[in-house]
Amino acid sequence: MSKVTVSAPGKLHLSGEHAVVYGNPAVVVSTSLRLYVTLTASAGSAFGDVRKNDPFIDAIAAVFEKKMGKPIASSLGFAITSTIPVGAGMGSSAALAVALIGALSQWYGFPWEPKLINELAYQAEKTKHINSSGSDPAIVTHGGILWYRRELDFLKTFWLLPFKIPKMFAPFVLVNTKRKESTGDLVSAVAKYQKLHERQFILLRDAFEQTTKQMTQAIHDEDEQLFRRMITQNQRLLEKLPVVSREATAFIRAVEKAGGAAKISGAGGVAKGSGVVITTHSEIGVLQQLADTFGYKPFQTVLGGDGVRVEQMTA
């Protein structure tokens, strides 16, 4: 083998982030933004050096080596390219774990097993934040729209929804409000909140679950009005947790005032921005103008594409 390229998509949480860490469901969707890992016999940086300098890549490699019983050659050529914004709630680290494990398994001649790739990526993610729900690696591995629920660490259930985001829904505009904290920091902040407000948290989790269910129904029924109401409802619930910044809230309120709906997606952020905000409005121009007013660069992505896939294999 002289070259292998494997890619994995970025993701968005349409509903249920954070609650999914506590066993409630989330609806997650893949995007057309992708991360590519290329392994070569020679060219590129040597994998051994990259590992030494990047604890997450080292953790992914260690999980692979342990499970597959195959030491990774430190001379292996390694390169990443990506269009997924980093640390913005779009699953860039899950995409890296999934694509790298997929590429390594191809390089060393193992069968293509998305289920195993997902599980190993989940183990690697847990080295970043111990309480990972596993929803990120699952959607990045399988693609499409996923109904996901972690019952127990060894019992993670998901269902690939057999429908798409309806074509008649207005396209989503994404805005990266950036963030300072890591996903682990934000998951820990929610854990602290849960300890302090146990009763409210139980009610909140239930409200998240109802919202996730209604949103899934809205996608199924192609009911855009209900879908938008659930985006707003999910955002309001997230605002009760310490995960949404003042800046992101101000932008989201402006979108709502202009007749649209918006929510953060993924872990969020409080110190500065809250990562990527999903916005929707019947007139895209309104969203672009608002983003401009707030100094954000809007961008678009197609939702619901392929999960992990082999792009190239050269003997």
Given the rule CB under 6 A, which residues bind ligand MEV?
13, 17-18, 20-21, 89, 132-133, 135-136, 183, 187, 266-267
- Name the residue among 143, 129, 109 with its Cα closest to residue 28: 143
Long-range pairs, 229-234, Cβ under 8 A, ≥24: 229/261, 230/15, 231/14, 231/15, 231/261, 231/262, 231/263, 231/278, 231/280, 232/256, 232/261, 232/262, 232/263, 233/207, 234/14, 234/15, 234/16, 234/208, 234/263
Handedness of CA 257, 258, 260, 261 (dihedral sign): negative
Choice between 50 and 308, CB closer to ligand MEV: 308
Shortest distance, position 245 Cβ to ligand MEV, whole Å:
15
**Smallest gap, in angstroms, from Cβ of residue 234 to ligand MEV?**
12
Rounded least distance, CB 18 to ligand MEV, Å:
5
> Tokens in use for 254?
């402006």
Q: Hey, what are 168's tokens?
A: 């008649």
Q: Which residue carries 């070259």 as its tokens?
A: 3
Nearer to ligand MEV, 72 or 237 (CB): 237
CA-nearest of 258, 199, 210, 251 to 233 is: 210
Task: Give me the least distance between CB of 138 and ligand MEV, in Å please.
Answer: 10
Report the amino acid identity of residue 273. G
Task: Tell me whether residue 23 or residue 55 sits nearer to ligand MEV (CB atom).
Answer: 23
Task: List Cβ neighbours of 250 (8 Å cut-off, separation of 6 or more).
Answer: 294
Q: How far is the CB of 4 from ligand MEV (least distance, A)?
A: 27
Residue least distant from ligand MEV (Cβ): 133
Nearer to ligand MEV, 266 or 307 (CB): 266
Please identify, using beta-carbon distances, which residue of 132 and 233 lies nearer to ligand MEV: 132
Q: DSSP label at 259?
A: T
CB of 79 to ligand MEV, least distance (A): 25
16 vs 312: CA distance, rounded Å:
35
CA distance 161 to 144: 8
Which residue number, 136 or 247, has a Cβ lying nearer to ligand MEV? Answer: 136
Q: How far is the CB of 230 from ligand MEV (least distance, A)?
A: 17
For ligand MEV, the closer CB: 155 or 315? 155
Between the CA of residue 215 and those of 147, 171, 225, what are the distances in Å? Answer: 11, 16, 10
